[in-house]
Structure 1
Amino acid sequence: MRSLFRLLAALLLCVQPALAWEYWGGDRGGQRFSPLTQITSDNVGTLVRGWEFRTGDLDTRPPDVMKRTKFEVTPLFVEDSLIFCTPFNEVIALDPGTGAQKWRFDPRISMRHRPANRFVCRGVAHWTDDRAADGAACKSRIFAGTNDTRLIALDARTGKPCADFGDHGEIKIDAGMKLEWPGEFQITSAPVTGRGVVVVGSAIGDNRRVDAPLGAVRAFDARTGQPRWTFDPLIHSGVEAGHSNVWAPMSVDEERGLVFLPTTSPSPDFWGGKRPGNDEHANSVVALRIETGELVWAFQTTHHDVWDYDLPAQPTLTRIDTGSGMRDVVIQPTKQGFVFVLDRDTGKPVWPVEERAVPQNGAEGEKLSPTQPFPTHVPPLLTQRIGADDAFGLVPGFERAACEKLFGQSRNEGLFTPPSPQGTVIYPMTGGGVNWGSAAFDPVNQILYANVSHAVQIVTLIPRDQAKGFNPPPGHDFGQQEGAPFAMSRAVARSPLGTLCNKPPWGETVAVDLKAGKILWHAPVGTSEDLAPLGIALNTGTPLLSGVAITAGGLVFTGAMDAYLRAFDARSGKQLWLGRLPVPGVANPMTYLWKGEQYVVIGAGGHSEGGTSIGDSVVAFRLPRQGEGVSLWARIIDRPGGRFEAKAVAAALVLIALVALLWRWRRGRRASAA
């Protein structure tokens, strides 16, 4: 029966025009699955670099500005072009075969604009106006949000603004209240489109103040830019807190006319005394009618969040075999590593979700939820508890002892331990678990893939009378949380030498059989080569904010915090290939077919928050053409540790040469003396 299902699914894929990557998540529902099979587990090891395109930001932007960038973009393949945005919201179209620039649009955002979440643009959206005549200007449109909160419409073939949309091609989105600084409110993820409507979310500076800007989701007519509706994710009845917003990518079911929102925690993140109750519809998957904004259903994954456990991942829309029939579902991964599987029409869990008691006794004025929802069928993607016995250090005794002390002196009662003035262990950390990279789903083999991070944070509440003059130590994120009795400080738990305090691996790709409710494999992703001194490559894995792309060729592609794009065997999790990048590719890869050749592409611009080197490249790989091949030297050096080993060999050869020269010199002096 399973083989019959796979055959039917494969036949279905064959009749769909899915050879292109037309949406940020591959398709409207974010499956990140490509039916392309030219690159397979048998030949992926021969991939070569097809081209590299540099945006020029590294050469033209001030260095202090570049240090505040995150190059998290995934290009689209539409209109015979690769189209993407830079961290400064320039939209660029490239030739898919050569990487040559076809057009470029610069919205000219100010470099003085200091966005709360740094300069970042994860992607753009594409929409075709079926009412427009063939060849008409802006029949095919690109929509892009900006860090200075504009929504821009461009002709997908020329890059020129669509004059009939808004004010000469753009809409300035008003936050609806006075901002403390312009960057307190920004747009970071790609808009979505459906049924003639374009929908855009927003990102906010979460921990500056209780009355942070409202996080309304906004919809506009895709042709004219006229407002269609707004939706505030947080019900404000009796609630003084500022917002819940949608900064993460959204999904669309065009047939049902639904848009799915992954909503955030309400402000401020770590104290909720002024927002009593469960804070509906924050921390929820929310389904709205895309044409009207009418609420259809909402499912909350965290009640009264005080851990910054918002939903960062795009809801994945797919069809699964539940064991009792096929169902259209929404799959929602979380920062905690949970996987919720919900019926797409009702929002009800496909498999039971239990309300379980969680730690209580929050900070002064806090009213915690006594229970939290736990999925029962699909296991968590990572461990959710850590103790002093799990402390780690590369230097025996010294580093581990420091981490043990840090864990021991902090409040630590497992998942959902509330923040406290003494400091609380938050694990999984506020960056995940799963983050904005989201999950990928193989509809043929019914397997879910996701990247997860294993790292610990210590969150400390600082009493208001101490917060004014508080000077956070290096590496600590500080938020005033004005209007609350506490400010907050948080930092990743590290040893005095900078090593993560928990045992590796620190980043993994995980494969899950949803029907069986079983983890199939874990694969560490990334090494310390581009993060550690001297380029030493330890197979520790790296924290993973970005996600994966999967193919019918049996492959899982992913980047990491080191400068490699990797391919894993989808069945076993074995690493099959890695391609060197100019800087780390902390972005979701994508793949497409162009003139008979399959390409795999990733944005390689580094990540300022991750502490990596910074760049401005988009890099494409393909199979070698006739006469091309991978040299033995490249095979040796383009692997984890290969460059460190090459440097070590070179240093050894130089040392040998110096010794030989010294020996000859001394021998010559002795001969002269004789």
Structure 2
Amino acid sequence: MSTESALGFPNDGEWPAYGRDPGGARHSPLTQIDRDNVSRLQNVWTFHTGDISDGRNHPTPSNFEATPLYLFGTLYLSTGFDRVIALDPDTGAQRWAFDPKINLDVRRPGGLTSRGVAAWEDIWAPAHAPCRRRIFLATLDARLIALDALTGKLCTDFADGGTASVKGGLDDLEAGHFGMTSPPAVVNGVVIVGSSVVDGVGVAVPKGLVHAFDARTGAAKWTWDPIPRRPSDPGYDAWSPKDAARTRAANVWTVIAVDAKRDLVFLPTSSPAPDYYGGLRKGPGPHADSIVALRASTGKFVWAYQLVHHNLWDYDIAAPPALTVVRHHGRKVPAIAAAGKTGFLFVLDRETGVPLFPVEERPVPASDLPGEEAYATQPFPIATPNLVGDTTIPPASAFGLTPGDVAACARLIAEARSEGIFTPVSRRGSIQFPGPVGGVNWGGMAIDEARGLLITAVNRLPDLVRAIPRDEAYVPFPGEAFYEQTGTPYRVGRRVPVGPELGLPCTQPPFGKLVAVDLGTGRIRWEVPVGRLPGTEQIPGAERWGSATLGGPIVTDGGLAFIAGTMDDAIRAFDIDTGKELWKAPLPAGGQATPMTYRSPHGKQFVIIAAGGSTFLGRPPSDALVAFALPD
């Protein structure tokens, strides 16, 4: 096995990073499973982690959303309890497990979630030295832990007995409001971790600091704050000093991409706090809601490109960016693709951050809330249409299967502000389309560079968001989520607008789809509905509606795109050239995760998916890791 496998150059059969390669393309060269035989895939083993919470045994439900790694001849995964488990890749038998013993009695608004671990190999260490091969875990209680990949024991030469604290620079840290849910990034011997900061609670939340550590010693190397707080910080001139000093969050909670050759790390940042009111953080708000490139070795700022100005819609950059090479004006250009909850896809020059396809600033609706100043324009890519489709929802377009639902949805839309994408929050309620589930959420994208194709799942669900003055009583609507937004003049309620009779969304289907974009032209090559809403099995045509999806696709040289994540508890394979569904298999629970594929030491190709359900999508929790392969 190549000693470079954990450093970013995977062998054909490996999956050594969350996105397989550190740039996050999620492309496997394996061909044993292809378009001709994928219909024969069958479940060959299922592993149960035992880590499951339905909100009764512990106050917070669990979400098993991990994408396992495969390298060093072993599968590695993390659970919602932050346990790390190593499995035999052929049988799914457990080899070892490590428990960091997080406090499961702490209430965590984002759920008990861990989307995976990271790996690194110290090629300068003796061949059989303990911890030459390491697994890194970033925990919900803000620790970075280094484990021996062979035994699962702590690497005692790393930081403090194997554990580095990621609380440095954070004051007034409240348990459950800050932690890590995504795997670290590892580049050239540096481990980089972002953080998850709770949404909607108010202005005074933790800072969204990004921390970097030496992979061998655990020594802190650098820290970067997405909010420029000093006059010498790039972007500071676009902030008022008072706003910059008090604004928090803008954290990096999703997966980080890296370019080891260029010593670059690409950070997808999120909204400054709080999500739905910006009167205390006026202006565009760099470098929030941006792709930010830093030197991996030093943390020095290189460039930033903002996808959303002055975020008022929870349109944070949830999807991990993906590195690729595109042909542009007759030459090959190293690029980075970034997709947003907005449904917009941006393709940027990896070295400069300059868009490779035209983007124009267009006027968007103004706010009618006293104290709020919505930014006057937003960036709109021109070559690639919005992946959601038309983001305007006139009352005449209201969806429903009964006259009562159509009339109720039309009335709801007519009574709200509904002026297309970027309609700000209002007191009477505003239609937000797409809503905060996307567009493109944390499932992200997969890239087949040889075909010049980008594949992504797109959600098409609206939200109805209303501002409630703090001196008014809050009377909730059915199904409405509530955000206190302490420190601002307004609390917020948000819900998916649905018809009162059948409970179907008020927008026209499909509610979720799989989309392929040609990276040479920016045009959409094909799009197909994906998934099915539960409870619609007896409705003719409902199989063409699709469903919301949390979890992303992967692509293989077998000509396939695999994806789960839908609300009908299934995993599917599609023809990457046409979008035709070729295979579907039931799962024991919702597969709200991103699958992976690998070739085991015995030469068999497997496709693996965590079927852990989703509290966000209302799918019951589970603890199943399901493996598929061709019959012998």
Q: What range is the shorter-chain TM-score in?
A: over 0.9
Aligned residue in 2 for 1:20:
14
Q: List per-residue Cα deviations over 1:76-99 (Å, max 9, x = no partner).
A: 001111101001101011111101
CA contact (8 A) 1:389 1:404 kept: yes
Structure 2 CA distance, aligned partners of 1:229 and 1:502? 46
CA contact (8 A) 1:176 1:213 kept: no
CA contact (8 A) 2:367 2:426 kept: no
Aligned residue in 1 for 2:101:
108
CA contact (8 A) 1:452 1:545 kept: no
Aligned residue in 1 for 2:44:
50
Q: List per-residue Cα deviations over 1:601-622 (Å, max 9, x = no partner).
A: 1000111111112211000101
CA contact (8 A) 1:436 1:545 kept: yes
Select the structure that is richer in helix: 1
Aligned residue in 2 for 1:520:
525
Q: Which of residues 92, 97, 117 is equivalent to 2:90?
A: 97
CA contact (8 A) 1:319 1:327 kept: yes
Is the partner of 1:182 in helix, strand or coil?
coil
Aligned residue in 2 for 1:73:
66
Q: 2:510 is aligned with what amino acid?
A: P
How many aligned residue pairs are there? 606
Q: 2:38 is aligned with what amino acid?
A: V
Q: List per-residue Cα deviations over 1:96-136 (Å, max 9, x = no partner).
A: 11011111011111121112211100111111112211111
Q: 1:54 is aligned with what amino acid?
A: H
Residue 590 (str. 1) matches residue 596 (str. 2):
yes
Is the partner of 1:583 in helix, strand or coil?
coil
Q: 2:498 is aligned with what amino acid?
A: R
Aligned residue in 1 for 2:400:
393
User: Displacement of 1:62 after TM fit?
Assistant: 6.6
Aligned residue in 2 for 1:38:
32
Aligned residue in 1 for 2:115:
122
Judged with a 3 Å threshold, the aligned counterparts in structure 2 of structure 1 residues 328 and 35 are, in CA distance, closer, same or farther, namely: same
Q: List per-residue Cα deviations over 1:620-666 (Å, max 9, x = no partner).
A: 101111xxxxxxxxxxxxxxxxxxxxxxxxxxxxxxxxxxxxxxxxx
Residue 298 (str. 1) matches residue 304 (str. 2):
yes
Structure 1 CA distance, aligned partners of 2:172 and 2:398? 42
Aligned residue in 2 for 1:337:
343
Q: Which of residues 462, 483, 508 is equivalent to 1:456?
A: 462
CA contact (8 A) 2:60 2:109 kept: no
Aligned residue in 2 for 1:557:
562
Structure 2 CA distance, aligned partners of 1:592 and 1:206? 36
Is the partner of 1:398 in helix, strand or coil?
helix
Structure 2 CA distance, aligned partners of 1:351 and 1:256? 22
Q: 2:610 is aligned with what amino acid?
A: G
Structure 2 CA distance, aligned partners of 1:421 and 1:261? 34
Structure 1 CA distance, aligned partners of 2:149 and 2:225? 31
Residue 548 (str. 1) matches residue 553 (str. 2):
yes
Structure 1 CA distance, aligned partners of 2:359 and 2:594? 30
User: Displacement of 1:390 after TM fit?
Assistant: 2.3
User: Displacement of 1:141 after TM fit?
Assistant: 0.6
Judged with a 3 Å threshold, the aligned counterparts in structure 2 of structure 1 residues 154 and 413 are, in CA distance, closer, same or farther, namely: same
CA contact (8 A) 1:114 1:183 kept: yes
Residue 616 (str. 1) matches residue 623 (str. 2):
yes
Aligned residue in 1 for 2:177:
184
Is the partner of 1:355 in helix, strand or coil?
strand
Q: 2:491 is aligned with what amino acid?
A: A
Structure 2 CA distance, aligned partners of 1:95 and 1:536? 44
Aligned residue in 2 for 1:507:
512
Structure 2 CA distance, aligned partners of 1:131 and 1:531? 57
Structure 1 CA distance, aligned partners of 2:173 and 2:190? 31
Aligned residue in 1 for 2:205:
212
Q: Which of residues 420, 425, 434 is equivalent to 2:426?
A: 420
Segments of 5+ residues of structure 1 without an aligned counterpart are 1-14, 626-674
Q: 2:69 is aligned with what amino acid?
A: L
User: Displacement of 1:361 after TM fit?
Assistant: 3.2
Residue 314 (str. 1) matches residue 320 (str. 2):
yes
User: Displacement of 1:378 after TM fit?
Assistant: 1.9
Structure 1 CA distance, aligned partners of 2:430 and 2:173? 29
Residue 233 (str. 1) matches residue 226 (str. 2):
yes
Is the partner of 2:406 in helix, strand or coil?
helix
Aligned residue in 2 for 1:154:
147
Aligned residue in 2 for 1:599:
606
The sequence identity of aligned pairs, in percent, is 45
Q: List per-residue Cα deviations over 1:512-563 (Å, max 9, x = no partner).
A: 11212221111111123x4558999931211012110110111010011211
Aligned residue in 1 for 2:494:
490
Aligned residue in 2 for 1:203:
196
Q: 1:274 is aligned with what amino acid?
A: L
CA contact (8 A) 1:569 1:576 kept: yes
Rg comparison, structure with higher value: 1
Q: Which of residues 161, 172, 196 is equivalent to 2:165?
A: 172
TM-score (norm 2): 0.93
Residue 481 (str. 1) matches residue 485 (str. 2):
yes
Q: 1:479 is aligned with what amino acid?
A: Y
Residue 266 (str. 1) matches residue 267 (str. 2):
no
Aligned residue in 1 for 2:232:
none
Structure 1 CA distance, aligned partners of 2:430 and 2:131? 52
Is the partner of 2:176 in helix, strand or coil?
helix
CA contact (8 A) 2:252 2:267 kept: yes
CA contact (8 A) 1:362 1:368 kept: no
TM-score (norm 1): 0.87
CA contact (8 A) 1:70 1:609 kept: no
User: Displacement of 1:26 after TM fit?
Assistant: 1.3
Structure 2 CA distance, aligned partners of 1:30 and 1:531? 35
Segments of 5+ residues of structure 2 without an aligned counterpart are 1-8, 230-240
Structure 1 CA distance, aligned partners of 2:59 and 2:94? 22
